[in-house]
Amino acid sequence: MINALRERDDAHTLLAAGTERALRGVGGLVLLRGATGTGRTAVLEAAAAHAVERGVCVLRARCSPEDDGMPLSTVGRLLGHVPEYAGMPSSDYHRRAARLWELLRSLAARSPLLLAVDDVHLADRSSRRWLAEAAGHLDRMPVLVVATERSQYDIEPQPAGLTHALSASFVRTHTLAPLTDGASAEMLGALLPGADPEWTAECVRASAGHPLLLLALLDDLRGTPPLPLPDSCAALYPGAYPAAVAWWLDSAGTATADVARALAALEEVGTPDPGDDPPALLAEATGADPARVAGWLTAMTRLGLLRLGPDGQPRYAHPLLRDAVLTGWPTPRRQEVHRAAAEALLSRGGRVEAVARHLLRAPVVGKPWALRVLRDAVTVAVDGARADDAVAYLRRALDEPLSDARRQRLLTELGSLEYHSADAGAAISRLAEALHLEGDPRDRVHTAIALGTALAGQGEVRTAMGMLRRTEAGLSEHPGLARTVQTATAILSDQDQVQRQEAYGWLGETAARSPELVGTAGQALLVRYAATAGLVSAQDAMKQVHALLAVPADPSAEPFLLGTAAAVAQWADELDEAERLVERGLALQSCSLLHPMHRALVNTRADIAAARGDQAALLAAAADPRRIPADAGPGNIDAHVLMALVHADRTDEAQRLAAGFDLRRAPDSWELNRFLYARGVLRAAVGDSAGALHDWLECGRRQLAREVVSPVVTPWRTAVAECGPGPGAGEAVELAEEELRLAEVWNTPRTVGRALRVLGTVTGGRRGLELAGEAVRILRGATADTDMELIPALLAQGRQLMGAGERSRARDCLREAAERAERKGAVRFHALAARALREGGARHHSSSRTGSAALTASERRVAELAADGRTNAEIAGLLHLARRTVETHLTHAYRKLRIRRRSELTGALGKRGEEA
């Protein structure tokens, strides 16, 4: 019997039956058709072996493209040497055919025959004619002819097959389909026992049901099966698999190979857009007939070489197969396909990034549309917080022909984005190159400010200052731009105490003589300086800020003015106005350009969220991929996140965050001081009083060296005082009194209330109780959201009332503190209030409810959309909300549902009821 190959039983049965008929004197023609690599030859060899076992004489001929040079050469090789051909004209088909027929009859008279003709589609035309003519006479002879024929859809239509003009009664045709995944896996298991199932599944996909490819792949993977299967043919040796794929492409013809390789090249770019038409795109990229391309894609999908992706578009069954298709294809040809695809997509209105992705792999186009597409793609990528993609588009744009002015703008943007991506060295090189190009003075200022920001961020503050001063000196004919550079110099000097003193000293002296020489942005910086130095009240500072905002400002200086005004407004507890100023300032900023005020505005936004106790917004800001990295040290947002984690009683996470920074490498700046203050809060929360005192005192020392004495930024004095030995300690009282004096200069409820609360705690007694009550009264009367100061003030008042024996009033204070803490998500404050209530003999019952019934309508709507798999950005768009609002609603929902992860939302919304 035939040695059965998998899923070839029908073919074997058909051939075995034909052999038995031939033994009885009734021959015929069997045609085995199939695509390249489906095992036609293996089935033919199995049939020949079976025939030999049955006593049938087997004659073989394997056809090749060279056979077409001599008429009837295939049949001549099949039947043996024909001496009568000598001297016979090659054009005399009929005489030659008759001689061959006589030879066949004589051979058949001796023994039943099986004529095995492999790849008959490659035989010479006269041999195919002879075989077709013979088919009508074989039923009276003991001769079975079995021929294999390639049957595959190609871009260039192939000649008619062997039997296209024969009656079905003269020929039996059987088509070999690719193996199913199960059969391929069984075949592989038999050849390589013990193979990992996951690895086996990958091999099956890479072979696409074609035994040829599977056996070639196994030749390259002899030994221990690697897991996972490599995606590149470079990892295969000796290269049987890519050679088999190359043979498959060669057999399909040049046009089909070009389309197959173009598909592989286009697939490398990524998932096509939903509106793309792959057949049309491939046709335009290769010059092929679109209808034939569409048919080829359908045929290859049926054959398993392509599989439909989630979007319904055909793709190669495995990356290794795709790479093998591309192996050996010349780079220029591949690049031209991408260029043609880019132009075709553009003409059909494709998405700008889809076009740009092809341009990344295309040669220089040299036409305006290419640069326009790449620039638009940069904008889209930046808006989508994909800085790496934007960098790639800009680098490619620089290959196109550019004027110096345009190259300067592109280099400035590229350097800025590379800095965002933490590639500071490359960023500084790009920006320095841009600064040396001739361009518009305004563009030169943008470049200088970006370079100065990058240098200062790397600790090269003096280098940055020198470069900015040289830039300023070259702007004598542009006084507005010169003032902008002066302002940038002052802002960046914050990272070096000596430079800061020089910059602000010059600003102050010049503003006293001629305010117009420093401009509105410079004057705003002096207001900010006075606020931190404890020289002005919040009310007076805001009056000055409002007056400066009313003066028309140079566009290049406006971000500095708005950013500085926003910081002062936030310190003054004008949180809504500060937020409006931040949004205005960010709207003027291109987040793809490096600018010191972008970071300043983002920092102020975080300060506003912290003042409001919006922990969700702070944690979201830390995860924002558009945030500029904090260089060698921690930033302001890191400090806020640290404190937010402490408030949420997630001190383990906070400690891991703090441990991730080496403060010895951090540049000297107010952001480092803010982080020291925040780390002190963390250390105090975990009981490390000595560590907390060290951090707060170091923060204070650094701030005083910078002439920052006001508690509006880092209230380190009250932190040290509160961490002291207890009520009545002289040094603690002195520190608290000094902070109260400075707070009363600034005179906002937040700063004064905090100072009063701590002074009351360290003073103790009846006077301490009065101070605590005054702190609560002032904080309650604030127009801004001061809950994050009011909660500890209520805790302090409650504890002191409890100590004075006024238990009923104490419980009221502590319950209010607990309720406010729960609303803010301040878990630690809530726990402290609950503990104080227990120590006072009371049990705290939260008036709020938990469980799904406790959600507000807005929280439920947002939570349900999140449970359905929507992203925060999608939810914001659907409900017309700010993304931060969505994040806040989700945070509140998590707390009420008592869950920690988004994946838990579905169960929590559907199963949890109300809990008291």
Task: Check whether 728 has a pLDDT greater than 60.
Answer: no
For tokens 């805001």, the residue is 542
| Least confident stretch, 263-267, 324-328, 753-757, 823-827 | 823-827
pLDDT at residue 916, as a whole number: 32
More confident residue, 687 or 916: 687
Q: pLDDT tens for residues 875-886?
A: 887 877 777 778
Under a CB-based contact definition with an 8 Å cutoff, are residues 523 and 558 in contact?
no
| Among 514-518, 654-658, 750-754, 907-911, the range of highest mean pLDDT | 750-754
The candidate with the shortest Cα–Cα distance to 685, out of 715, 658, 663, 709, is: 658
Is the Cβ–Cβ distance between 11 and 39 less than 8 Å?
A: no
Cis peptide before 228 (omega within 30 of 0): yes
Return the HEC string of 307-333.
EECCCCCEEECCHHHHHHHHCCCCHHH
Q: Which residue has the higher pLDDT, 135 or 914?
A: 135
What SS3 state is found at 224?
coil
Compute the radius of gyration of the chain from its Cα atoms: 41
The amino acid at 809 = R
pLDDT band at 316 (very low <50, low <70, confident <90, very high): very high
The predicted pLDDT at position 686 comes to 93
Average pLDDT over residues 11-16: 95
Quote the pLDDT of residue 467.
96
The closest alpha carbon to 205, from 172, 236, 221, 182, belongs to 182
Give residue 547's pLDDT: 96
The reply to whether omega before 715 is within 30° of 0 (cis) is: no
For residue 98, what are its two tokens?
A: 């008759």
For the chain, give the mean pLDDT: 89
Tell me what pLDDT residue 589 has: 80
C-alpha to C-alpha distance for 62 and 84, rounded to whole angstroms = 23
Residue 523 CA to residue 529 CA, distance in Å, equals 10
Contacts of 428 (CB under 8 A, 6+ apart): 415, 419, 451, 454, 455, 458
pLDDT digits (tens, 9 = 90+) for 820-877: 888 888 889 999 999 999 888 775 444 445 666 667 777 888 888 998 888 888 888 7
pLDDT tens-place string over residues 56-102: 999 999 998 887 667 888 998 898 865 555 445 556 788 888 989 99
CB atoms within 10 A of CB 741: 11
Instruction: Tell me the β-bridge partners of 676.
Output: none
- Predicted confidence at residue 123, as pLDDT, reads 93
- The model's confidence at residue 726, banded by pLDDT at 50, 70 and 90, is low
615/894 Cα distance (integer angstroms): 13
Phi and psi torsions of 143, nearest 5°: -130, 120
**DSSP state letters, 444-465:** HHHHHHHHHHHHHHTT-HHHHH
Which residues on adjacent β-strands are paired with residue 150?
34
SS3 143: strand
- Cβ neighbors of 626 (< 8 A, separation 6 or more) are 385, 387, 420, 591
pLDDT attached to residue 633: 77
Spatial separation of the C-alpha atoms in residues 366 and 374, rounded to whole Å: 13
pLDDT for 791-822, tens place per residue? Answer: 999 999 999 999 898 998 999 999 999 988 88
What is the structure's pLDDT at 571?
97
Q: Is 53 exposed, middle or buried (0-12, 13-18, 19+ CB in 10 A)?
A: exposed
Better-scored residue on pLDDT, 281 or 19: 19
The model's confidence at residue 3, banded by pLDDT at 50, 70 and 90, is: very low
Q: In the prediction, which pLDDT does 67 show? A: 75
pLDDT for position 914 = 38
Q: pLDDT band at 407, cuts 50/70/90?
A: very high
Give pTM, 2 decimals: 0.75
Beta-sheet strands, E only, within 640-775: none
Check pLDDT > 70 for residue 546.
yes
Q: How far is CA 547 from CA 541, 550, 552, 585, 834, in A?
A: 10, 5, 11, 17, 48
851 vs 378: which has the higher pLDDT = 378
**pLDDT band of 615, cuts 50, 70, 90:** confident
| Start-end of H helices in 781-915 | 787-803, 807-824, 827-839, 857-867, 872-879, 883-897, 905-911
pLDDT score for 381: 92
